[in-house]
Structure 1
C-alpha cells in the first residue's frame, strides 16, 4: 500500500468523501498533507513522503528540482524548508512549502525512489539561480561536480540553454570555477 494517495485515487478504490474525511480527522489514521493529497499513516510525514505528495499535487508532468533532486542523486547539500518543483506552463497550484516554477523547457528526468527528479545539471542551476549569496552558488556547483553527478561541461551546456533570469551570479561562478 502506497503511503501517498490523491482523493481521486481513493474514490476510485471505493472510499467515499465522508470516509476520507473521517480517516483524515484528528482521531483518524490518515492525514491530509496537501489539498487533495492524503498520507495514509498517522506518523509525521518524512521528507520522502512530502516529495511524493508534492508530485501528486503538482500533476503528472511535475518534476522535483533543486536541492531535493540533487540530494536524492547523491550530492551533499542542505535542504530548504520548501520543495522546488517544475511543472508545465499551465500549472496554477501554490502552497507555502512548495516552490512551484512553471517551465516551457521540461528537464531530463531521473527516476529514483519512485520520484521524478530533474537531471543534475538542471537541478543545480535551478537551485543556484535562486541563491543571492555568491559563496553559496559556488558551494552548489562544487557539490554537484564533486559528487560526480555531472561535469563542468554539462553545467555550461545547461546554462547556455537555460533562462537568463537570475543567472548572473551562476554565470560568474561557473566561469570562475570552470572556465571553458
Structure 2
C-alpha cells in the first residue's frame, strides 16, 4: 500500500470518516499532510512523501515543476522550502508550503519515482523566472545543461512558447549559449 492516500481513496477502501480521523489524531498512527491527503505511516514525511501529497492535493492534471522536478531528473540545484506545482487554471487550492501555479498550458510530463514532473525545459524556466539574482539564474541554467536534461535550443523554444513575465534574466543567461 502506498504511504500517501486521499481521504476519498481511504473511504473507497472501506474506512469511515471517523476511522480516518481517529488514525490522524496525535494518538493515531497516521498524519494529515494536507487537507484531504494522509500519510499512512507514523514516521515523519520525506520530501518524496510531500511531493506525492502535493500531486494528490493539486489534482489529476498537476505536475511538479521547478527545483524538485529538476533534482528528481538529476540536476544539482538547491531545493526551496516550497514545492512548486503546476495545475489547471480552475484549481483553487492553496497551502503555505506549496507554490501552486495555475496554467492554461500544461507541461510535457516526465514520470519519475511515481511522480508527474514537468519536462526539463519547463521546470528550468519555472524555477529561473522566480529568481531575482542574475548569477543564480545562470547557475540554474548551467546545472540543467551540465546534467544533460535539455539543450539551449529547447530552453529557447520553451521561452518563446510560454509567458514572458519574469524571463528577462533567463533570456540574458541564454544569450551567450543560443540566440533567443
TM-score in same-fold range (> 0.5): yes
Instruction: Measure, in 2, the Cα distance between the counterparts of 1:107 and 1:175.
Output: 24
1:173 partnered with 2:166: no
Task: Determine the structure 1 residue equivalent to 2:89.
Answer: 89
Instruction: Measure, in 2, the Cα distance between the counterparts of 1:60 and 1:179.
Output: 36
1:153-175 C-alpha deviation (Å, 9 max, x unpaired): 11111111110011111111111
1:58-86 C-alpha deviation (Å, 9 max, x unpaired): 00000000000000000011100000000
Query: Any idea what SS the aligned residue of 2:174 has?
Result: helix
Can you give the 5+ residue segments of structure 2 that lack an aligned partner in the other structure? none
Instruction: Measure, in 2, the Cα distance between the counterparts of 1:179 and 1:140.
Output: 18
Query: Any idea what SS the aligned residue of 1:25 has?
Result: coil
1:6 partnered with 2:6: yes
Can you give the 5+ residue segments of structure 1 that lack an aligned partner in the other structure? none
Task: Determine the structure 1 residue equivalent to 2:61.
Answer: 61
Task: Determine the structure 2 residue equivalent to 1:147.
Answer: 147
Instruction: Measure, in 1, the Cα distance between the counterparts of 2:136 and 2:27.
Output: 43
Instruction: Measure, in 2, the Cα distance between the counterparts of 1:131 and 1:178.
Output: 20
Q: CA RMSD in A?
A: 0.8
Query: Any idea what SS the aligned residue of 2:61 has?
Result: coil
Following superposition of structure 1 onto structure 2, how do residues 154-169 of structure 1 map, counting pairs within 5 Å? 154-169=154-169
Task: Determine the structure 2 residue equivalent to 1:73.
Answer: 73
Scaled by the length of structure 2, the TM-score of the pair is: 0.98
1:18 partnered with 2:15: no
Instruction: Measure, in 2, the Cα distance between the counterparts of 1:69 and 1:106.
Output: 15
Instruction: Measure, in 1, the Cα distance between the counterparts of 2:177 and 2:151.
Output: 12
Instruction: Measure, in 2, the Cα distance between the counterparts of 1:67 and 1:58.
Output: 18
Query: Any idea what SS the aligned residue of 1:111 has?
Result: strand
1:32-89 C-alpha deviation (Å, 9 max, x unpaired): 0000000000010000000000000000000000000000000011100000000001
Instruction: Measure, in 2, the Cα distance between the counterparts of 1:34 and 1:47.
Output: 14
Number of residues of Structure 1 aligned to a counterpart in Structure 2: 180
